[in-house]
Chain A
Amino acid sequence: MNNHESLKPDIHKVLKKYDSKKDIIPALQDIQENFGFVSEENAESLAKKINSPLVDISGVVTFYNMFRLKPVGKYHIAICRGTACHVQNSEELLKYVEKKLKIKTGEITQDGRFSLEAVNCIGACAKAPAMMIHDKVYGQLTEKKIDAILDSMK
């Protein structure tokens, strides 16, 4: 997942198994997993492969939260803004991370290491406040805990 800088996968291989308009979302997910984001070029390849208007694909990409049109950092931090997390002050945590990394939500640090995003409930409500870095959930966060987690990521 994090190898999109070093090893560029072949888009045609990625798209091999997709052939209908119904596959737009899974195909885009696959593109994002392989390349870190959905570039226009790759979307065009998909459009050709499944014979869909490009505009429908860009409509879908911008509709769903998950898709990114720009690369993300090596570590992509998703802070949960679900109800339980809100009740446990996740808004303050989000601000804290913004301050710590000196970026705004939706941005990437200059060294490309971290990017930050606020997401809807990730379902770790009982461990609120929580965040997700790639597929791993971190619960019961405090500023100190965030420091420890982020500082350990190089």
Chain B
Amino acid sequence: MTKVKIELNGQEIMCESDEYLMDIARKHHIYIPHLCQHDRLERTANCRLCIIEIELNGKRKIMTSCNAKPVEGMKVFTHTPKLFEYRRINLELLLANHDLNCPTCPANLNCKLQKYSGDLLVKESRFNGARKMLPVDESSPSIRRDNNRCILCGKCIKMCSDIQTVHAIQQHHRGFDTVVEHSFNHTMAESSCVNCGQCVIACPTGALTERSDIQHVIDALNTEGKILIAQTAPSIRATLGECFDMPPGRNVTGKMVSALRKIGFHRVFDTDLGADITIIEEATEFVKRLKSKKNLPMITTCCPAWIKFGEQFYFDELNHMSTCRSPQAILASLIKTYYAKKLKIESKDIILVDIMPCTAKKFEILRPEFSGEADYVLTTVELSKLINQMGIDFVNLEDEDFDNPLGESTGAGAIFGHTGGVMEAALRTVADFLGHKDFKNVEYTKIRGMETCKEATVEIAGNEVNICVVHTLGEARKLMEQIKKGESKYQFIEIMACFGGCIGGGGQPKFNEEALKKRVEALIKEDEGKEIRKSHKNPTALKIYEEYLGEFGSEKAHELLHTKYYLREYK
């Protein structure tokens, strides 16, 4: 790597020769508009909005900055009248073939096309003529696709194919007729889509958004004679603030609880408790498997997108999956049984709304084995819209606490929201179970961080355990191929479909990697601040076992807290 000197908008700077000009400019606080560039995806330079003018050896020309590298003596101009004119034409061309009913678009005010058009003072598109008129795909419970708002940046495809290896979508046809579709005109619901929503995060416009359940929830709130309960997933508190222009990484648990009460929920419970119980069951299961050496490696199953992925592509290897439900499903089950019994009401008199970081959770609650449990899922982004609709001044809310009894959780539950967290929480409990004592050390830092595949060998009560933590399904596929071939060296694996884990979920506000790191920090800080940092020490959890479930891993626990998997066909 060598340093080169270039001139950026008249200012001399030094930069690395293998850095891209767009990134160099960003470091120097100059933002070049772009629609198709994404740090984790191949740079295909197809939106052409990030054009710059460069001058080299007296020759001036236009090129895209996302994939161009600097050369000694190069003069770079990022914002010239000519570039403004061309960028404007580029946007006008996109707008001419776009559903311009912006106020009714789910991505209204959260759309790059809209933002750039405003920034560049595009008044109207000078081009009019043919415009695509395509049906909106609302077949999926999780994701809605409106191709009339697709600008063909291609990020969703790269996300789905290159990162997730789900291959649910691809470009079809060509030229002006190019459209992103599933194979042979199938709907999203019929496709191999696992509902992870990483495409939604990548989409710069309103072409891909979550399937909104806000109206259903509003209707439910106005139903007489029902108890309305909300449960909030571990990662929401670290991201919801961003929807209200608060800086990334601000923990807003108190405001969130307060807002949910103001919206009209009678009880607000913490999915972190579900996470603690997940860990108790999962650790019990793992210890059993480790001792019997059967069905190893064991793989975590908190992530519904990963579960569908496994059911579709690795059905023969599903014996490796933990049978434990996700924290959401565990708490939902307990709310509709244990808690209903406590209140002496029938489960149907409770309407349970899950606030989740995840579009796939909308699919998960529809699984037949979970029927009658959670009623609706709202994503973080949907919750923020509901808060706005209800006229709540979120930023200035006073903090409030979760309701009892299902509001108490440990530090272990808190870190479920980021990659490696489930594994770390599980190891804390597994160690105590295996060693029959209360170990002091609770931090397993080797499996923290943003690398998509993290492996470690940990010594737990005299046992050497090979563990692996992956996020993104492409990495999961690699592990599954090893298992399929009988070559896996691991005993315990954590898989999360989304980059970063749930804090990077498909229902979260759009993010960059900096924001993601801040979100993780918020959760780690929450863990560190907790007095109890091990799931099996959660007094509420222990009380539920004592009063209702019996022993860890009991028959009743299996009935209410475990699940099964199916072979899933897809097109």
Contacts and interface: CB of A to CB of B under 8 A. Distances in A.
Report if A and B touch in the complex (beta carbons < 8 A). yes
Interface of A: 40, 43, 53-59, 62-63, 69
B152 to A, nearest CB: 13
B168 interface: yes
A19 B161 CA distance: 21
A55 B174 contact: no
B174 A54 contact: no
A55 B173 contact: no
A54 B193 CA distance: 13
Contacts of A63: 171-174
A59 B170 CA distance: 6
A69 B169 CA distance: 18
A62 B171 CA distance: 9
Given A40-B183, A53-B192, A54-B167, 19 more contacts: A40-B184, A43-B183, A53-B161, A53-B167, A54-B183, A54-B184, A54-B571, A55-B167, A55-B168, A55-B169, A56-B167, A57-B183, A58-B170, A58-B183, A58-B184, A59-B170, A59-B171, A59-B172, A62-B174
Main secondary structure of the interface of A (DSSP, over half): helix
A47 to B, nearest CB: 8
Interface string B157-184: 0000100000111111110000001111
A52 to B, nearest CB: 9
A105 to B, nearest CB: 15
Nearest to A38: B184
A72 to B, nearest CB: 18
Interchain residue pairs A-B with the least CB separation, the first 9 = A53-B167, A59-B170, A55-B183, A58-B183, A54-B183, A55-B170, A62-B172, A40-B184, A62-B173
A151 B350 CA distance: 75
Q: Which of B161, B171, B173, B184 has the most CB of A within 10 A?
A: B184
A78 B174 CA distance: 20
Contacts of B181: 58
18 contacts: A40-B183, A40-B184, A43-B183, A43-B184, A53-B167, A53-B183, A54-B183, A54-B184, A54-B571, A55-B167, A55-B170, A55-B183, A55-B192, A56-B170, A58-B170, A62-B173, A63-B172, A63-B174
Contacts of A43: 183-184
Contacts of B171: 59, 63
A58 B172 CA distance: 7
Interface of B: 161, 167-174, 181-184, 191-192, 571
Contacts of A54: 167, 183-184, 571
A69 B183 CA distance: 12
B140 to A, nearest CB: 15
B319 to A, nearest CB: 23
A43 B184 CA distance: 10
Contacts of A57: 183
Contacts of B173: 62-63
A53 B477 CA distance: 14
Contacts of B174: 62-63
Contacts of B172: 58-59, 62-63
Contacts of A69: 184
B60 to A, nearest CB: 34
A43 B171 CA distance: 16
Contacts of B169: 55
A59 to B, nearest CB: 4
A54 B168 CA distance: 9
B380 to A, nearest CB: 29
A54 to B, nearest CB: 4
A54 B172 CA distance: 12
Contacts of A59: 170-172
B171 to A, nearest CB: 6
A62 B184 CA distance: 9
B91 to A, nearest CB: 27
B505 to A, nearest CB: 24
A69 B181 CA distance: 16
Contacts of A58: 170, 172, 181, 183-184
Q: Which of A43, A54, A55, A69 has the most CB of B within 10 A?
A: A55
B427 to A, nearest CB: 36
B190 to A, nearest CB: 11
A58 B182 CA distance: 8
B139 to A, nearest CB: 16
B161 to A, nearest CB: 8
A84 B161 CA distance: 42
A116 B184 CA distance: 23
Nearest to A52: B167
A63 B172 CA distance: 6
Contacts of A40: 183-184
Nearest to A39: B184
A63 B174 CA distance: 6
Nearest to A69: B184
Nearest to B174: A63
Contacts of B182: 55
A62 B177 CA distance: 10
A2 B455 CA distance: 58
